[in-house]
Every structure is written in C-alpha cells, then in structure tokens.
Amino acid sequence: MGVCVKVALITGVTGQDGAYLAEFLLNYGYTVHGIKRRTSLFNTDRIDHLYEDPHEPNPRFLLHHGDLTDSSSLIRIIQHVKPDEIYNLAAQSHVAVSFEEPEYTANSDALGTLRILEAIRILGLEKKTRFYQASTSELYGLVQEIPQNETTPFYPRSPYAVAKLYAYWITVNYREAYGIYACNGILFNHESPLRGETFVTRKITRSLARIKLGLQKCLYIGNLDAKRDWGHARDYVEMQWLMLQQDEPEDFVIATGVQHSVRDFINAAARELDMPIAWRGSGIHERGYDTNGNVIVSVDPRYFRPTEVQSLLGDATKARVRLGWAPRTKFADLVAEMVREDLRSAERDELVREHGYETFAFNE
Ligand code: NDP
Ligand code: GDR
C-alpha cells in the first residue's frame, strides 16, 4: 500500500483486535508499537507472524512491556514512542469474568483509559497524538431502543460495561476539555478465528469441531436465547483506523445490523460440520442431540450471568454515510471461517493423539 511515515501505538496488541489492527497498519506502512503484559508463558501467538527481530535495522513492529494498571509504564512508553495515533484496545474484556474480578476490571478498563489520556496531557502531546477508545455495545445493556445508534441511552449491566462507560465519558471529556483528537468506536460483537476461546462463538466452533472428531463429548453452554449483532473483526479494525483519519473527532457505532441468537450460531456451526442438532427440553433442561441420540449440547446454569444483556442490534448508518464504511463479511461466512479453522486445529490434535501423545484442552 501507500507510503506512510506514521507511528501507531496499540495497547492490547496480543488480543484479537490488536493482531488484526497491527497487520492492517503495517500493511499501510505504519511503524507499529505494541504494549504487551508480562506473562509467565509467551502470549504472542496471534502476532507471531508479524514478529520482526529487533536486532535487525529499522524494524517496523516493536513490542514493549507495560500494563494499563501501571501509569509509570504507560508514560514511559508514550514518551519514548511519541505516537501519532494510540489505539486503546487493552481490557479485561470478558463480561462474565468482570463479575468475578470487578475491581481489577475497573482498574484496567476504566482507570487504564484515564491513565493513557493523562499521559498524553502530561507529555504535552494533545495536539500530536490521536486517541481511539475501544467502546462497546455492552454500554446499551438493558436496551431502551431497537436498533441502537450513537444517541441511544446507555444502561450498563455488568462491572465490565460500567467500567467501559467511565472510559467512554472520560474520552469525551478529554476531547472537550483539552482538545485532544479522541474518538469512541462503539463496536458491536466481532469475532474471528482469533477470538478468545471462552467467548461464546469461538467456544461453539471449537467445541463442535472437537466433538465431530471425538476429542470432546459435549458443549456446555449458558443462555441460548441471547441475541447479538455479530461481525468479523477484520472488517471492524479498518473502522478503528478510519475514525482517526477524519478532520474532527467523533464517536461511531460499528455493527452489521443483523441479529442472531446463540442457538442460531450453534445451528449454523453444526450445519457447517454436517452435524445437525435436534433440540429437546427447555430452560436449564434444554439439550441438543446428534443423529445417534447423544447429548452434544447441554445448558449449564454456571454460564448464566447475574445480569444479562439479552439482545443487541446495531445501526451503523452514521459510519456508512460519513465514512463510507460497510461490513464485508456475512454471518454465514464468519461461521464457516471459524469452523474451518477450528476443525484444522482439532485435526492437528487428533494426529498428535494417533501418534500416542496426550492432548489436553480446557472446556470452559
Ligand atoms: P481480547 O480479550 O482478545 O484482547 C484484550 C487485550 O488486552 C489482550 O492483548 C490482553 O493481553 C490485553 N490486556 C488485558 N488486560 C490488560 C492490562 N491490564 N494491561 C495491558 N494489556 C491488557 O479483546 P478483543 O481484541 O476482542 O477486544 C479489543 C478491545 O475492544 C477490548 O477493549 C474490548 O473490551 C473491546 N471490545 C471488543 C469487542 C469484541 O466483540 N471483540 C466489541 C466491543 C469492544 P493478554 O493477551 O496478555 O491477555
Ligand atoms: P459478550 O460476549 O458478553 O457479548 O461480550 P460473549 O461471547 O461472552 O457472550 C455473548 C452472549 O452469549 C451468552 N452465552 C455465553 N457466553 C459465554 N462467554 N460462554 C457461554 O458458555 C455462553 N452461553 C451463552 C452470554 O450470556 C451472552 O449473552 C463480548 C466481549 O468481546 C466484550 O468485550 C465486548 O464489549 C462485547 O462482546 C461487545
């Protein structure tokens, strides 16, 4: 692509969106810096293909250790990198986990955003550095309008969503108070083969692929009737970039405008695997059976949330009209791609097992 001398800093570069965005920006000619957490095992699987040996001259992809809960690391990195654009994608992003770790979620997702905005200010980068905040459709929570757009009232329903509500408003406030070019992308659910294994879509495609090959017996699932507007992460990271290329900073909803239930997703993935499911029972007794009468899907109330977001459907008209953006990937293609990739990795595990080695996979 075209010649670009811009420098971007991505927090959460080791996550699903971080990986797609880093690849997108590198293809565009950016120098990309990423912040990763110190972990006891390597956590760079999603970006290993982008790795450049830092000993080589002029690497364009560089990683730094840092954490959203640690101002010192954020200030030091931002001072060193002096980025033209910061994409704040890092977060404790699992809604169910946020009920178990509410304080940590608030620290990283709410205060972490403030720490970055303050670093921009402390370092005098208000006029240089543009800031993207990964806001979320979870802000709408207990939905008060269908579909949801930029003016729909918020009603967060989890510690995660409440933390993200703070992050949303502190981004707006620093834009208005200090003239920072700061935007919220209110993104609806977006998935991919790189999606974390405990989010519902990936859990479904991974489990059904493993069940198909006899590596797992059953998919234990929570609320089958929850409805989401699911898009592809690859399409959505383009919008994150586009939002920072405008004359004036604004907030945008990004969504497909099409809604499916968790049950629809399971049925679609099972169809891809030629493994039709017959449903019987209801509520916590609902089960899905294969053609031999084996239970392969079972509702487990352990996965219910104390407060649930039952239904989300986005209206991305503003992004379409103002930025010329439209999602490219259809629901069926998203499901097919995720199933295909998870079947490949299940086949790898099957091979390993055939050669006498044990494989182990968490079933969460
Ligand atoms: P992931 O969970 O895949 O990635 C989150 C990233 O944040 C990982 O790199 C993770 O590191 C990092 N991280 C977590 N906590 C910290 C911390 N304290 N300090 C530094 N880094 C941290 O999320 P996604 O890529 O799916 O989402 C990206 C962002 O967009 C998140 O903020 C999410 O809340 C938001 N969002 C996501 C949507 C979606 O549908 N995917 C929709 C709307 C918003 P590690 O790899 O070490 O765990
Ligand atoms: P969500 O995504 O909470 O929308 O947050 P998730 O895939 O976790 O849940 C979607 C819906 O499926 C229901 N569900 C289950 N969810 C999980 N994880 N595991 C299950 O077994 C299960 N069974 C049913 C959930 O109750 C829910 O209704 C995601 C994250 O990426 C956030 O960071 C992001 O902000 C929002 O999407 C938009």
Whether 197 is catalytic: no
For residue 233, the ligand closest to its alpha carbon is: 1
Beta bridge partners of 280: 287
Query: Catalytic one among 31, 113, 129, 136?
Result: 136
Kind plus residue range of the DSSP H or E element containing 31: strand 31-36
Distance from the alpha carbon of residue 106 to the mean position of ligand 2, in angstroms = 18
pLDDT at 3: 59
pTM of the model: 0.98
200-227+261-306+331-355 adopts what CATH topology?
Answer: UDP-galactose 4-epimerase; domain 1 (3.90.25)
Query: Catalytic one among 23, 85, 138, 272?
Result: 138
Q: Pick 7-193+229-259's CATH classification: 3.40.50.720, 3.40.50.10490, 3.40.710.10, 3.90.190.20.
A: 3.40.50.720
What type of residue is 226? Answer: A
Rounded CA-CA distance 195/85 in Å is: 24
Distance from the alpha carbon of residue 349 to the mean position of ligand 1, in angstroms = 27
Q: What is the pLDDT of residues 332-346, one digit of tens each?
A: 999 999 999 999 999
Rounded CA-CA distance 310/225 in Å is: 7
Whether 136 is catalytic: yes
Rounded CA-CA distance 267/15 in Å is: 27
With a 6 A CB cut-off, is 203 part of the ligand 2 pocket? yes
Tell me whether strands 260-261 and 227-228 are parallel, antiparallel or unpaired. Answer: antiparallel
CA proximity to 307, closest of 160, 197, 199: 160
Q: What is the pLDDT of residues 312-329, one digit of tens each?
A: 999 999 999 999 999 999
Q: What is the pLDDT of residues 39-95, one digit of tens each?
A: 999 999 999 999 888 888 889 999 999 999 999 999 999 999 999 999 999 999 999
- Asked if 240 and 87 count as a contact pair (C-beta separation under 8 A), the reply is yes
Domain 7-193+229-259 matches domain 200-227+261-306+331-355 at the CATH topology level: no
pLDDT at 358: 81
Minimal-distance CA residue to ligand 2 atom 27: 226
With a 6 A CB cut-off, is 91 part of the ligand 1 pocket? yes
Whether 44 is catalytic: no
Please give the distance of CA 97 from its chain centroid, rounded to a whole number. Answer: 15
The domain locations on the chain are 7-193+229-259, 200-227+261-306+331-355
The residue ranges of the chain whose pLDDT is under 50 are none
Ligand 2 atom at minimum distance from 221 CA: 21
**Model-level ipTM above the cut of 0.95:** yes
